[in-house]
């Protein structure tokens, strides 16, 4: 597997890749083509693709798709928006295409991911509640122990 340090790129390639990335991230709600980005950056499509791959280690489309799916996963986990609304936020007019892209990235459908995340959130909340209860019980036991000691001392002195 190629690491960032083993990749070779020029300063110009790095700047081009970063500018293209910024543009794509600012326009997550749209389907952006390599042609559109290269025109905006005033470079050829080949130059854009090569710069991007050399700098980020992946294709333009894989890069933007993985970023979109990460943000979509965050939205799904929050549970406030419907899958269709989330799909639209990331430039997908067709929910099934969004679901296919999401499944390609995470191995499960968006609705399954949301359900799994809800269960995980519930388990985390339950664990926190159990810890809180345990902590309270320990404090009560400690207070009770102190009261017993005081009572025993008072009876001993009397």
Domain 65-158 has CATH 1.10.10.60: yes
**pLDDT at site 1:** 46
77 pLDDT above the threshold of 70:
yes
Q: How far apart are CA 21 and CA 65, in angstroms?
A: 12
Tokens 């790095």 correspond to 14
CA distances from 57 to 4, 5, 8, 48, 61 (A): 7, 11, 10, 13, 12
- The burial of 143, by beta-carbon neighbours within 10 Å (0-12 exposed, 13-18 middle, 19 or more buried), is given as exposed
Q: What is the mean pLDDT of residues 48-77?
A: 93
Q: What is the mean pLDDT of residues 25-35?
A: 90
Q: Which stretch of 13-17, 47-51, 110-114, 138-142 has the lowest confidence by average pLDDT?
A: 138-142
2 pLDDT above the threshold of 70:
no
Q: How far apart are CA 25 and CA 118, in angstroms?
A: 27
Q: What is the mean pLDDT of residues 123-133?
A: 65
Q: Where are the domains of the chain?
A: 7-57, 65-158
More confident residue, 43 or 79: 43
**pLDDT at site 135:** 76
Say what percent of the chain tops pLDDT 70.
Answer: 85
Each residue of 82-114: pLDDT tens digit?
999 999 999 998 899 999 999 999 999 999 999
C-beta atoms surrounding 90 within 10 Å: 21
Q: How far apart are CA 32 and CA 53, in angstroms?
A: 17
């Amino acid at each position: 597997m190629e690491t960032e340090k083993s990749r070779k790129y020029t300063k110009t390639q790095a700047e081009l890749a970063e500018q293209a990335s910024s543009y794509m991230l600012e326009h997550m709600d749209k389907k952006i083509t390599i042609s559109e980005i290269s025109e905006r950056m005033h470079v050829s499509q080949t130059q854009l693709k090569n710069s991007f791959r050399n700098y980020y280690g992946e294709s333009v489309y894989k890069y933007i798709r993985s970023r979109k799916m990460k943000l979509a996963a965050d939205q799904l986990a929050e549970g406030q928006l419907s899958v269709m609304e989330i799909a639209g936020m990331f430039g997908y007019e067709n929910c099934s295409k969004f679901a296919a892209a999401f499944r390609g990235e995470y191995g499960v459908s968006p609705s399954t991911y949301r359900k799994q995340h809800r269960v995980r959130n519930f388990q985390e909340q339950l664990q926190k509640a159990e810890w809180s209860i345990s902590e309270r019980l320990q404090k009560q036991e400690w207070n009770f122990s102190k009261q017993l000691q005081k009572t025993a001392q008072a009876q001993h002195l009397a």
